[in-house]
Structure 1
Amino acid sequence: MSKISVIVPVYNVENYLDRCIESIVNQSYRNLEIILVNDGSTDKSGEICNRLARVDNRIRVIHKENGGLSSARNAGLDSATGDYIAFIDSDDYIHTKMYEILVKVQKDTGADIVSCGYQMFDEGDVPKEIDYDNFEFFEYTGTDIYNQLWDRDTSTVIQCQKLFNKDVFSHIRYPEGRIHEDVYVIHRELGKVNKYVFVDIPFYYYMIRNGSIMQTESFTSINDALEGFEDRIRFFSTRGLHEYEDRTLKTLFEYIQLKYRMLAKDNNRDGCRYLQSKMNMLLAMYNTGDFLENKELSKYRKMRKNYLILNVKIKIKSIIGK
């Protein structure tokens, strides 16, 4: 039976950690190596990790100084000995049958990455029950693998509801010091596989809690996402995959416009100015006339006009305030 190395980065999650690890140790698929990476927690998370390791000999604990999610994942990757790699965020949990079914699909299809769906739920709520006896899965090969970055979007990008062949991570590690680390690596992962499979059932339970990245997005996280998209553009460009280079650039423009509206609503003039300069740089750098429709260019012009209006509103507020 092939072994799965399940890597769980842990940082100040004492209220959620037992539930997460219980969902892993109770998997119907038993051949697991569970690597808990305590990333410098200042609460009782480290103690909980040690207690759990004493109860189940499949659990190993790595204690390290705080370096962020990417650093913790990389520490787990460097220590992993399994045939497959999987990740779980320590405030989330998984269905008991998740790995059994993902491994079965992998064996049946020969896929390098098998992904499943996920349920998002608010802290204090309970995910919906799922029928795991009836599900479909979809196989993708060739450049159609890259299409999943748009066809399934977030479900393709996030890492935690996936089963990876260990070879996917040869020469790939997560960028440390980044917030949107998944955006940086997913295109590189997909570029190494011959087959990608999506299992259409939400085995992964993704909790949205107060203070999480999903709940409170900072300007730093926006900038990280922008640079992740730019890295993806370069990735496709150097491989001559210009269709996907263009599609990523469109996605980047849409993301800038979305976040511009968010920052403008908060009267964040510095953030809006930065996004303006980023948009100007991209328009100058790429031959956008080949694929940007008039409607999209109109959106950009409106964005620039809105920035000027925002400056006027902020100045008026400052005068009235005085």
Structure 2
Amino acid sequence: MPKVSVIVPVYNAENYIEDCCENLLNQSYEDYEVIFVNDGSTDNSQKKLENLASKCDKIQIITQENQGQAMARNAGIKQSKGDFLCFVDIDDGISKEMLEKMMEAQKESDADLVWCNAYIKKNGEILGTLDETYPNVDDSQKNYVLHNASPWRKCIRRFLLENHNLYFPKLRFYEDLAVVPSYGLYTNKIYYLNEPLYTYVLHEGSTMHQKSYHQKLEDIFKSIDILSNFIEHSFYKDNIKDELEYLYIDHLLHAASLRFFEFENTEIQLDKIVEIMKLKYPLWKKNKYFKQKDWKYKLICYLFYKKKRNLLGYILKR
């Protein structure tokens, strides 16, 4: 049985498959398998995957009708054999030493979950690392919950996801935010490797950079509600109240508001965010992590909350 199962969802990704395979199959670590889940691609992704699998016994292919990234990852989890799971997005990059360094850290620390820093890349240029502007705390569990809304850049024990039913919900957008921060609630030990071993690539045409409004952006409401239920029904709910409040501020009041604000006729969605914040976190401005943010971030949140959208539009255009 392999030690690590790497799960990669694939949808119309023929242009990325070869580079992704090169990254994955040239790892300095050896004890792993790669599971590509072809989620109903209509291009040449399946043929490319089959060609690569015929040359390498580390590669497995799951082929299914298009159900979205969440269901693709779930299919990979269910077929995986590794003690640890590692999720990789097909268009991102990983260093040659990523699996080796993360599993060495796991062995030395006996952690159930190991996660690393990541580069941010756009238009071929490295913009910095993902964690350099995030709030930071010494508590490993709280630090994980604050920083991890996406499944990539981590290795987690497979049985924890299976035993606690931590599968991705059937959402098209924001499915990762719904469950990934909750991983930290079920681990005995978490280890952070402050080294950028993963490269997250920003694309203008990605889900979160749509030029036309997509109703599935409203999945943010379902997603954060699922996350809240996970946390509020956990043993640690009283220990991470501030962290959950910050996730509402960061992903709902700030990020989701900015996305809705890009489109016309989204007043209902923006008003809904304000009502949720008033109901759940009326004192959000006192959150200790929010206080660490820069003035522009704070101003954006405040103006959305106060529904000063004309002023906000003027400021954002400057």
Q: Tell me, yes or no, whether TM beats 0.5.
A: yes
Per the alignment, residue 308 of structure 2 pairs with: 306
Q: CA 1:260 to 1:34, structure 2 compared with 1: closer, same or farther past 3 Å?
A: closer
Partners in 2 of 1:247 and 1:3 — Cα distance? 32
Partners in 1 of 2:126 and 2:242 — Cα distance? 37
Partners in 2 of 1:262 and 1:126 — Cα distance? 24
Per the alignment, residue 236 of structure 1 pairs with: 231
Q: What's the CA shift string for 1:179-227, capped at 9, x where partnerless? A: 1122111232111101111111111122223421243385545422333
Q: What's the CA shift string for 1:43-86, capped at 9, x where partnerless? A: 11100000000010111111111111011111111111111111
Contact kept, 8 Å, 1:208 with 1:215, in 2: the verdict is no
Q: CA 1:3 to 1:219, structure 2 compared with 1: closer, same or farther past 3 Å?
A: same
Contact kept, 8 Å, 1:208 with 1:214, in 2: the verdict is no
Partners in 2 of 1:214 and 1:305 — Cα distance? 23
Segment of structure 1 superposing worse, 113-122 or 234-243? 234-243
Partners in 2 of 1:145 and 1:187 — Cα distance? 10
Instruction: Tell me whether 1:272 sits opposite 2:274 in the alignment.
Output: no
Write the mapping of 1:80-229 to structure 2, written as runs, cut at 5 A.
Answer: 80-123=80-123, 125=124, 144-150=140-146, 153=147, 156-170=148-162, 171-216=165-210, 218=213, 220=215, 222-229=217-224
Q: CA 1:57 to 1:127, structure 2 compared with 1: closer, same or farther past 3 Å?
A: farther
Q: CA 1:268 to 1:47, structure 2 compared with 1: closer, same or farther past 3 Å?
A: same
Per the alignment, residue 31 of structure 2 pairs with: 31
Partners in 2 of 1:94 and 1:226 — Cα distance? 31
Per the alignment, residue 294 of structure 2 pairs with: none
Contact kept, 8 Å, 2:7 with 2:35, in 1: the verdict is yes
Per the alignment, residue 315 of structure 2 pairs with: none
Partners in 1 of 2:42 and 2:58 — Cα distance? 25
Unaligned runs of 5+ in 1: 131-139, 311-322
Contact kept, 8 Å, 1:7 with 1:86, in 2: the verdict is yes
Q: What's the CA shift string for 1:78-130, capped at 9, x where partnerless? A: 1111111111111122111110111110000001111111112124x2659x9
Per the alignment, residue 257 of structure 2 pairs with: 260
Partner SS for 2:67: coil
Partners in 2 of 1:302 and 1:207 — Cα distance? 28
Query: Which protein has the larger Cα radius of gyration, Structure 1 or Structure 2?
Result: 1
Q: CA 1:251 to 1:58, structure 2 compared with 1: closer, same or farther past 3 Å?
A: closer
Partners in 2 of 1:267 and 1:80 — Cα distance? 40
Partners in 2 of 1:278 and 1:126 — Cα distance? 34
Contact kept, 8 Å, 1:260 with 1:272, in 2: the verdict is no
Partners in 1 of 2:29 and 2:177 — Cα distance? 29
Partners in 2 of 1:163 and 1:79 — Cα distance? 17
What one-letter code is carried by the residue in structure 2 that aligns with 1:248?
L
Unaligned runs of 5+ in 2: 130-136, 292-297, 312-318
- The TM-score normalised by the length of structure 1 is 0.78
What one-letter code is carried by the residue in structure 2 that aligns with 1:34?
V
Number of residue equivalences: 289
The structure with the greater share of residues assigned to helix is: 1
Q: What's the CA shift string for 1:163-182, capped at 9, x where partnerless? A: 11112211221112331122
CA RMSD of aligned residues (A): 3.2
Per the alignment, residue 136 of structure 1 pairs with: none
**Equivalent pairs: percent with the same residue?**
28
What one-letter code is carried by the residue in structure 2 that aligns with 1:166?
R
Q: CA 1:184 to 1:257, structure 2 compared with 1: closer, same or farther past 3 Å?
A: closer
Q: CA 1:47 to 1:108, structure 2 compared with 1: closer, same or farther past 3 Å?
A: same
- The TM-score normalised by the length of structure 2 is 0.79
